[in-house]
Amino acid sequence: MKRLKGLRVVSISAAVALSLLAAAYVQEPIRAARQDDAASHADGSSAKDSGAASYAAHCAICHGDQREGILPAFPPLIGINHRMTDDKIADLIHVGKGRMPGFPNLQDGELAALLHFITSAEPESLAAGSGAKSKETSGLAETGDTLFQQNCAFCHGRDAMGGETGPDLTQSKLVTEDRTGEKITQVIREGRPDNKMPGFNLSNHEINGIIAFIRAREAAATAHPGGRRGVAVADLQTGNVQAGKQYFDGAGGCVKCHSPSGDLAGVATRFEGLQLEERMLYPRNAKSTVTVKLASGETISGILAYRDEFTIALRDSNGIYRSWPISRVRFTVNSPVDAHVLLFNKYTDEDIHNLMAYLQTLR
């Protein structure tokens, strides 16, 4: 019996040991950052092409696998060599812009390969991305379509009817009145710096293609009115000039800061349509001035450069940027543009249309 008791002890111990093992949780090794295979944007490009690989790793997620962009947010890169030199592209890659981050570590061989890849020949498939619209266009317009998608669509929309920041070209006075194409060519080549449109280094043949495309879009827009969504100059002609002048001189109080023969002389030549109306209601680029008084008693004045709850900054008369903690100085800001904000809850829509009618006479 003693032997059996011993056996019992052993078997119980073994049983306990087995249970412990059974209950033991085998920890899986913590996985390092796991990238889903689908995240690779290489899209079949051979790893030997280091430019393509660099593009796939850094750029494709925003600018598309085929450099076609993701409109309206991320522009296509095809044809970027028409707009920018390699040096400028390299700068942009290093520093970034807006939503685009900078990649300062892209240098030397990788940078050269990437630049070569980005500025290389266009894939044929791009024009097909415009879909059914291509069927309506002639050969020249088809070339223009491709170029338009690469260079213009980001701002002016895939169908030239206006995009994120660029106007509807099918309703543009300049475009519709320019039958020889001379004016359009000039704008394309020189850009419109005031409106943030860059210039494009395109050949005459390429520009003719773009013009043909825009003409085709104009014709299509007239034939199928359902797609239009811009604001034409013609839409903004419902006011009365006399009533507008009265409002300007009277209830609007505009005459306190503005003069039709002074700062507003020729304003309707400089701006038209929606642009004119937007600036009339709130001129975004108007500057404020500020005078800062230091503890020493010294006062400094200049153009207001920055202001939040904690810091105030100006550019002084020499163009030098200076800033102070708000807790340490006194200051007064002069924002003439605030008068526009105060009018918002006073205008009737008639007042606005009348003012527009009056301002449009100031050429």
Partner 1 sequence: MKLLKDSLLSIVAATCLCIPCAPSLYTQDLENAQLLNPSPDSWPLYHGDYSGRRHIHLTQITPQNVGNLTLAWAFQTNQNAQIKSSPLLVDGILYFTVPENIWAVDARSGHMIWHYNRPSKGEHIGHRGVAMYKGWLFFTTPDAHLISLDAKDGRVRWDKIIADASRGYWSTMAPLVVKNHVIAGVGGDLDNLPGYLRAFDPDSGATQWQWDVTPPAGTPNTATGGMTWMTGTYDPELSLLYWGTGNPTPVLNGTVRPGDNAHTCSIVALNPDDGKLAWSFSVSPHDTHDWDAVETPVLVDGEFHGQQHKMLMQTSRNGYFFVLDRTNGKSLLTVPYGPVNWALGIDPQGRPIPNPAKEPAPDGRLVAPDEGGLTNYRAPSFDPNAGLFIVDAHPSYSIYFAKPADGAYGWAGADYGLWGKGVIEAIDYQTGKVRWSHEVGAGGSGAGVMTTDSGLTITGDAYGNLLALATNDGKTLWHVGTGSPMQSSPISYELDGRQYIITSSGGVLFAWALPEGMVAAKRLATERR
Binding site residues, partner 1, CB under 8 A: 4, 7-8, 11-12, 14-16, 18-20, 22-28, 30-31, 33-36, 38-39, 41, 61-62, 70, 73, 99-101, 162, 225-231, 235-238, 274, 277-278, 281-282, 308-310, 340-341, 344-345, 347, 349, 352-353
Query: Of 295, 312, 271, 294, whose CA–CA distance to 303 is shortest?
Result: 312
**For partner 1, which is the closer residue by CB, 193 or 310?**
310
Q: Please, what is the Cα angle at 74 between 130 and 67, to 5 degrees?
A: 65
Distance CA(50)–CA(213), nearest Å, equals 36
Distance CA(171)–CA(161), nearest Å, equals 8
Query: Which residues in 267-282 are b (16+ Cβ under 10 Å) and which e?
Result: bbeebbbbebbebbee
**For partner 1, which is the closer residue by CB, 33 or 47?**
33
* 261 three-class SS: coil
**For partner 1, which is the closer residue by CB, 121 or 342?**
342
Distance CA(27)–CA(275), nearest Å, equals 65
**For partner 1, which is the closer residue by CB, 229 or 363?**
229
Query: What type of residue is 293?
Result: K
- Closest separation in Å from C-beta 183 to partner 1: 25
Q: Please, what is the Cα angle at 194 between 173 and 168, to 5 degrees?
A: 35
Count other Cβ atoms within 10 Å, centred on residue 172: 24
- Closest separation in Å from C-beta 73 to partner 1: 7
Q: Please, what is the Cα angle at 129 between 142 and 76, to 5 degrees?
A: 95
**For partner 1, which is the closer residue by CB, 19 or 334?**
19
- Closest separation in Å from C-beta 323 to partner 1: 13
- Closest separation in Å from C-beta 24 to partner 1: 6
HSE of 150, CA atoms in CB hemisphere, 13 A: 31
**For partner 1, which is the closer residue by CB, 8 or 322?**
8
**For partner 1, which is the closer residue by CB, 127 or 161?**
161
CB 16 within 8 A of CB 23: no
- Closest separation in Å from C-beta 284 to partner 1: 8
- Closest separation in Å from C-beta 95 to partner 1: 13
- Closest separation in Å from C-beta 177 to partner 1: 20
